[in-house]
Every structure is written in structure tokens, then in C-alpha cells.
Amino acid sequence: MFRVVIIAAAAFAVLYIALDFNALYALRANQNTGLYLQSIVDFVRTGSTFDQPDGKPHLFVHDQWLVYLALGGPVAWLPRPETLIVCQEVALAAAAIPLFLFARACGAPVRPAAALAVAFLLSPSVQGWAYDGFVAEDLIPVVAFSLALAVRARSLPWTLVAACLLLGTKEDEIWFLMWLGALGAVWFDRRLGLAVFTLAVVNGAVYYALTLHFGFLPEHPRYGIVDLQWPQQLTFLVEMLVPLGFAPLCLGRRLFVALPFLAELFLSQDRTYPLYHTGSFYTVPLVTLAALATAYVTGLRPRFGAYAFGGAAAMALLFNNASVLHLGRRPFSLDPQYAAARSWAITSQPIDFPCEDVGAWTVASPDLRARLVGCGHPVHRPTRPAWRDEPLGATAAWTRGAPLTARANR
């Protein structure tokens, strides 16, 4: 059955690489792919992590050094959005392997463990992450599942390695690992828990000291105790739990472990969009924790592996629009403006893209002087229905003055 998990992971990666390439060439790719690509290109060329949308080095926005450590080499070799897309899908697909191994380590039989690993890939959350722009949080599941496996084996060296890597995905993980390390020291293994807690404290102290020294603060939502969106949040929780067979609910009072993860999503006050919608990268830590809880429960009650697979398959077939299994899905056609956008990517000339042409800017983002402008103001976004061929049809300067060359179509 381990072979089934490998095949499922490979199929997931191939399918979503194809889907994301399709969106990229249709100029519908998410801005985050371009933001991270431009920042990594700047890192490998100049040592900075500057990107135009942030207007400053990205490491002063988020503590995400793992992105530069892991992806600097691939991007230096091929500085194109496709590189990040491939890395994104491989990382998400690979997460099924340590999840399977962790379920087995918790006592789950091989078939339920494999069913859970495949269910994780089929879930709306994971497919939503895969069909969105690249973000550093896409690395969290595979690293967190590996950390859980190391903790289960009570291996201090591998626990420290995995925890260190997880801290490099975002500064939020500093607080989460402090919380989990403290709980682990009390209820599981004092040595491992204190080691993780101490590592998180040191990482946080260094990062926040550096950002304050240079006059920056990491970007984060504003939080409060008012929560007026609890009905929608309950809907999100149901959508998250169905592909997990509602297994985490079997943990009873131990669910309090998830409180900081829930607070991050539900108590934000200053966002014009909900952080908790399925497929949002903000939900990655909570969904990852829930998957680990499901693996633990499956070790105690193996039938939950089948429940998870059944729920995930039903969601993919009937409710999840991002799923390749969803009835009525069709790919896009190549946008006729793609060649113009690509031609800017292989220059070093300054060029401004209006915010409504974000998909074109993402293609051109390897040009360190390509800017995305006007995103702080209301813009008229062209109506481009999902799964219907409708070219961008932009008349902005970037289309009229594109330095078209034979290399642009490569």
C-alpha cells in the first residue's frame, strides 16, 4: 500500500503542475508566485530578497528563509514561474508520505494509513493550496509531518532539524512551536518539548531583533476578541473535517491544543477577506495539525482511514471546484498576450503592470524592474469567467511596448 501512496502523490503532482502551467499561460496565475520568484531571483543575483509588490526585502515581511535555502538553486538554474510551480506541487504531494508513515507509527494498519494519506491529497484544502499561487506555507505539511514522525520516534537530532526547518516557513510557526513545545514538555517528552520550545524562542528573538534593528515589523493581521463570522467559520470547519472523517473530534478535551491555530484564523479584524476560507494559505497550519490528529486517531480506530477517504472523494467529486475530478472542469487556452509578458521576463528593463494584469506581471516577474502598480486603489478587473476562454485583452503599455524576441516564446 505504500506504493499506492507514492503513485497517488506522483499523480497529484503531475496533475496540478499541468493545471497551474495552464493557468500561467492563460495569464491567470496568482500574484504570490511572481512575488516569491522575483524575491528569490533577487536573492541569487544580489543577495537581497527585495520584491516589487512588497517594496522591501521579503525577509523583513516574513521569516521565510527556508524558501531561499531550498529554492535558490532551482531558481538560479531556471528563473521562471514554472520552477516554483513544480517545487510547490512536489512539496504538497510529498507530504502524503510522512503522513502515511506517521499514521503507521501511531499504530494504524497499512490500508487505513494509505487511505488517510490519499484523502489528504484529495481534500479541498490541499487542492486549493495546489491551485493557488506559490507561498512558503506550501512547505509546511511535508516538514511538519516529518517533525511529528521524528517526535514519535523520540529522535532529538531529527526533531531539532525538522523544527528548525519549520521555523523557516513563517514567523507564525515560532509561536505555534513554542505552544506545542511547552505542551509536549508537560505531557509527552520533557527533553523534546523543551528543545523545541527553546529553539523557537531563540529563532524568534533573533528574527524580531533583526527586523526591529532595520526598522521593519513583520506583516500580520490586527487581532481582537470580537468574532461576528462564526456561522461561516463553522462551515469552514465542516469543510475541513469531512475529508478527515471528523476524526479529530474524537480527541475530546485535547482539542484545546488547536486554540492558537483557530484564533489566528477567526479573530483577525482588518482583512477584507476571510483568512479561514478553504484553500487559503493561512489555513495550512490548522489543516496540517488536523491531519496529524486524524493520523493519531486512525492508529486507535482504523476505520477512520476509510471515513476520511470517503469524505475526501465526495468533496472532490461534488463540491470542490478546484478539483480535477469536479464535473464540468475544462482547461484554458493560451492567452494571446502571453508572449508579450514573457518577453519582459528576459529583459532587465523597467516596466509597470496595472494590478488587473497581475497574471501577466507574474510571467514577467523574473525581470527585477517589473512592477505591479495600482493594487492599493480600486481597480476594474476584467471579467474572465472560470473555465471559459476569454483573453486578457489588455491595452496597457506593457503589451504595446513589449520587447518581443524569438526567445520570448521559449
For residue 298, give the C-alpha cell. 486512525
pLDDT in single tens digits along all 410 residues of the chain: 899 999 999 999 999 999 999 999 999 999 999 999 999 999 999 999 999 998 999 999 999 999 999 999 999 999 999 999 999 999 999 999 999 999 999 999 999 999 999 999 999 999 999 999 999 999 999 999 999 999 999 999 999 999 999 999 999 999 999 999 999 999 999 999 999 999 999 999 999 999 888 888 777 677 777 777 778 889 899 999 999 999 999 999 999 999 999 998 888 776 666 778 888 999 999 999 999 999 999 999 999 999 999 999 998 877 765 555 555 667 888 899 999 999 999 988 899 998 889 999 999 999 999 999 887 654 455 566 666 677 777 767 788 777 765 344 44
227: how many CB neighbours lie within 10 A of its CB?
Answer: 12
For residue 30, give the C-alpha cell. 496568482
Q: So where are the chain's domains? A: 2-318, 338-409
H/E stretch holding 164: helix 156-167
> CB–CB of 93/13 below 8 Å?
yes
Which pLDDT belongs to residue 227? 72
Which pLDDT belongs to residue 223? 72
**What is the DSSP-derived secondary structure letter of residue 336?**
T
The contacts of residue 399 (CB under 8 Å, 6+ apart) are 337, 340
> CB–CB of 143/162 below 8 Å?
yes
The contacts of residue 300 (CB under 8 Å, 6+ apart) are 106, 107, 250
Determine the Cα–Cα distance for residues 54 and 209; give it in Å rounded to an integer: 20
For residue 240, give the C-alpha cell. 475541513
Determine the Cα–Cα distance for residues 177 and 197; give it in Å rounded to an integer: 6
Which pLDDT belongs to residue 407? 46
Closest listed residue to residue 246, CA positions, set 300, 180, 312: 312
For 239, half-sphere exposure in the C-beta direction (CA atoms, 13 angstrom radius) is 21
Which pLDDT belongs to residue 233? 85
Strand partners, 369: none
Which pLDDT belongs to residue 268? 79
Model pTM above 0.85: yes
Grid-cell match 477584507, residue found: 272
Q: Is 268 helix (H, G, I), strand (E, B) or coil?
A: strand
Beta strands in 64-215 (DSSP E): none
Which pLDDT belongs to residue 379? 47
Which pLDDT belongs to residue 306? 95
